[in-house]
Every structure is written in structure tokens, then in C-alpha cells.
Amino acid sequence: MEQTGDGQILASKWDIPFVVFAAVRTIFGGLPVWAKAIVLGLVGSLALWTAVTWLRERRRKVR
């Protein structure tokens, strides 16, 4: 990270993904496999539902 003259800290573009990955790994690292599978299934279902909803809205606006 760099610090500029006006007190702002400039972060690299990889800082946020690295922190998010490290936090997820720390939070879910100690869980049993069945709990990880449930969480992954819920997140995957939410992502699929969001994609389908977005596609339906996009197709509806075209018509």
C-alpha cells in the first residue's frame, strides 16, 4: 500500500479479494464437511436464482 500526501492510503487491486478469501477460509475452515456442503448449496442456489431472475427480467424488457 502507498500513502499519498493528503492522508489517503492507496490499496492494490488484489487487497480486497485477498481479505475476503482469507476471511471466508478462516470462518469456514473449521466447519465439518456436511456444514460446508450446506453453506455451498445455499450460496449456489441463491446465485442460480439471481441469474434466472435477471435473465427473465432482461427478456421481459426486450419484448
Q: For 3-43, what is each residue's pLDDT tens digit?
A: 555 666 667 777 888 998 999 899 888 999 999 999 999 99
Domain that includes residue 35, residue range: 2-62
Predicted structure pTM score:
0.60
Tell me the C-alpha distance between 21 and 15, whole Å: 10
**Total number of domains constituting the chain:** 1
